[in-house]
Structures are given as C-alpha cells and as structure tokens.
Amino acid sequence: MVVFDRPKSLCDVPFHYCPGCTHGIIHRLVAEVIDELGIEGKTIGVAPVGCSVLAYNYFACDMVEAAHGRAPAVATGLKRSDPDNHIVFTYQGDGDLASIGTAETVHAAARNENITIIFVNNAIYGMTGGQMAPTSLPGQVTQTSPYGRDTSHCGFPVKVSEMLSQLDGAGYIERVAVNNVKNVRNAKKAIKKAFQNQIDKKGFSLVEVISTCPTNWGMTPDKALEWVEEKMIPYYPLGVYKDRDAEKKEEE
C-alpha cells in the first residue's frame, strides 16, 4: 500500500536547498494543495529573487520570474489579465517581501488583489550570505550584526502578518510554522484555505510560514528547529491574524 507519493505538481528533481532547510517542506505543501484542488493546469507561480529564485524548477505549473520584491505586482498583472482562468501565487522570502518588496505587498493587500502569497520567514537573508533581514530578531547574530541586532540602531523587526491585518483590503492572513508534524499539518490547512479563497474570489490571502536557515544561522538542522520553537515562534506568534469570512459570520 502506498502511504505517500510525490505530488504531481512537484517536479521529480533534486532540490538545491541547503541540508535542513524547510523550503522543501513548504514546496511539498503547496504542490499537494494544487493537486488536491485540481488547479495545476490554471495555476501560475511567481518566484522573485532570493532562495526561492529557482522555484520554477520544482513546481510543475507555469512559473514567471519577477524582479526582487516585485512578485505581488507581477502577480497582480497576471491575475487581472484573465481573472476567471488564472490561479496566481507568489513564493517569497522575508528579505524580498518585507524589505525591497514592502510597498508591493502592502498595496496589493490594500487593493484586495485576488492572489495568494506564500511568505517564507526565516529571519535572515539566505541566498546573499546571511545578512540581517527586516525580520531578524532583536539580538540575533548575522553577518551584518555580528554583535546581535541592536534595535536602538537598526530598529525592530517587521511583523508582516500583524501589519497587513490592519488593512481593510486584506482578506485572509495567517502565520504558521513547519518545525514539527503538528505545525506542518496546520500549515497545509492554511495554504489550502488561501488558494481556496482565490478560487472563490474572496481576495488577498497571505500565509506567513516560519522557516529555518541552518546554514546562515550557523546551526545543525535539529538545533535550527529548536531555535524556531524557542526563539522565533515566541516573537512571531502563530495563528490567524485576519479572516474576513470568520468576521462576517460572527457579525451575523
């Protein structure tokens, strides 16, 4: 009996990601959701610059490359070009989405663009060598903060889910993690809801996924998972930050 098989929407090729990186888990969850919803033939993914820059090698659907930070703008154009037949998602890291792409993200949410954003937050710039990111924790050691992030000099981390939840346009915002089995299952539910919202034309959905970066954190894979549990999740609490459907039901 087959207990598990590779999702059809995930290409049968080796990942380029570092050992212990949880991008692979998130890729699998996205591919499983695409399969289960039966939308592979109409799905378009947008991969900007960052560790996800080669995502087009892994998803068996149409993919478009975007300039650094501009994925929501590209996704907006793709979706508006054929809104009834395109299911569009972006796959972005924190250095991309929460730094150079902040404006695109905020305004796509404010306009309630009917797109799905998968936002991978590992609190560091991964591809470019481990520099401090907008999401790096206070006191976190990185290549550009060797003595730890000094909030008096560098400011505080950007909490994307909390920020976007304040926008009237945003339809669904949830933060999840993939550091253990329970959280992986919850992450898949959130990703599936975000895609289903787009199918149902409910507007902007973003799932923030707390992820690891063992290489640039200078940790073993198992220690990186522990760091997520002990450091990242307390600073970035998991949960639903905005759900317009749930709010409407409560009002009714």
234-251 pLDDT, tens digit each: 999 999 999 998 887 777
Categorize the per-residue pLDDT at 1 as very low, low, confident or very high, splitting at 50, 70 and 90: confident
pLDDT score of 146 more than 90: yes
Q: Each residue of 12-40: pLDDT tens digit?
A: 999 999 999 999 999 999 999 999 999 99
May I ask the CATH architecture of the domain 23-251? 3-Layer(aba) Sandwich (3.40)
pLDDT at 127: 85
Span 123-133, average pLDDT: 91
Kindly tell me if the per-residue pLDDT of 126 is higher than 90.
Answer: no
Position 3 confidence tier, pLDDT thresholds 50, 70, 90: confident
Please give the mean pLDDT across all residues of the chain: 95
Global pTM?
A: 0.96
Report pLDDT digits (tens) over 46-55. Answer: 999 988 888 9
pLDDT digits (tens, 9 = 90+) for 66-110: 999 999 999 999 999 999 999 999 999 998 999 999 999 999 999
What is the per-residue pLDDT for 250?
76
- pLDDT score at 195: 98
Instruction: Decide: 114 and 79 in contact? Cβ < 8 Å.
Output: yes
Predicted confidence (pLDDT) at residue 138 exceeds the cutoff of 90? yes
pLDDT at position 4 is 84
Q: pLDDT confidence of 2, banded at 50, 70, 90? A: confident
Residues 6+ apart with CB under 8 A from 91: 30, 45, 46, 47, 52, 55, 71, 118, 120
Predicted confidence at residue 181, as pLDDT, reads 96
Query: For residue 196, what pLDDT is reported?
Result: 98
CA distances from 117 to 105, 109, 225 (A): 9, 10, 23
- Where is pLDDT greater, at 204 or 251? 204
- Name the pLDDT band for 182 (thresholds 50, 70, 90): very high
Q: Residue 119: pLDDT above 90?
A: yes
